Amino acid sequence: MTDPIHDAVKRHYEIALADASCCGPSDCGCDAGFYDAALTADLPADVAGLSFGCGDPVTIAGLKPGETVLDLGSGAGLDCFLAARQVGPEGHVIGVDMTPAMLEKAEANRAKLGATNVEFRQGQIEALPVSDDSVDVIMSNCVINLSPDKEAVFREAFRVLKPGGRISVSDIVTEGAFTAEQRAQIDLWASCLTGAIDAAEYVGAMARAGLVDVQVVDRVEAAPSSDGSPRVFSARITGRKPAGRGV
């Protein structure tokens, strides 16, 4: 599966990784400043300091030792490494990303940290290279807003979660909707902006996929509107797959 949006996102993050620049006008974040300092304190600076996320989905995930965790759009791997510490050597963390340059950086970071309970797979979050009912927890950090088919992302999340499994994301959402003309600006879409959807629509898409107890835990305004565009927020959102229910 590929389309102009996927291609633009790949190019954007290849450039961002090369010059360590931020992800765009939405100010998604390119540092680990939104994490509790204790989470990243003993990580090498070049690992802890390279994040293209917009929040901390790890803390609200409530990870437990031995769990299997999947990170959608794992980038350079920071959230994977933080999760790996919490699930311990009996747990397992899978990072999925579609950008070869990001996967290469993530593998280098994994080797540097000796993170033997982490693996990275190339793939798209609309068609995950992950087995049905195999994951306890899904995380994602400022990635689902980039997808051209968010409904497919949440259907895939539901498919791979174990019954009773949960999802914890930090993402860019809006209050209101971008116009068709604004959404057609692919450079802004790739910059975590015009691909974002209204928070209520986001929650609704999760519910339509079968996830329950979906809630916006908190949100922080990321970019005030001065031109009639919708207000943009960084939000942390959680949900779960009902226990005893398969795909």
| Residues 217-247 pLDDT 10s | 998 876 566 667 888 999 999 999 999 755 5
Average pLDDT estimate for 113-137: 97
Where do the structural domains in the chain lie, given as residue ranges?
4-240
Q: What is the pTM of this model?
A: 0.89
Sheet strands (E) in the chain: 68-72, 92-97, 118-122, 135-141, 161-175, 212-223, 231-240
Centroid of chain to Cα 68: 16
Average pLDDT estimate for 16-33: 51
Q: How many CB atoms lie within 10 A of CB 111?
A: 9
pLDDT in tens, 62-94: 999 999 999 999 999 999 999 999 999 999 999
Q: Please give the pLDDT value at position 1.
A: 45
Looking at residue 232, its amino acid is: V
Selected from 3.30.360.10, 3.40.50.150, 1.20.990.10, 3.10.129.10, the CATH number assigned to the domain covering 4-240 reads 3.40.50.150
Number of H helices, E strands in the chain: 9, 7
pLDDT in tens, 93-109: 999 999 999 999 999 99
pLDDT in tens, 126-184: 999 999 999 999 999 999 999 999 999 999 999 999 999 999 999 999 998 988 998 88
Query: Is the distance from CB of 178 to CB of 25 less than 8 angstroms?
Result: no
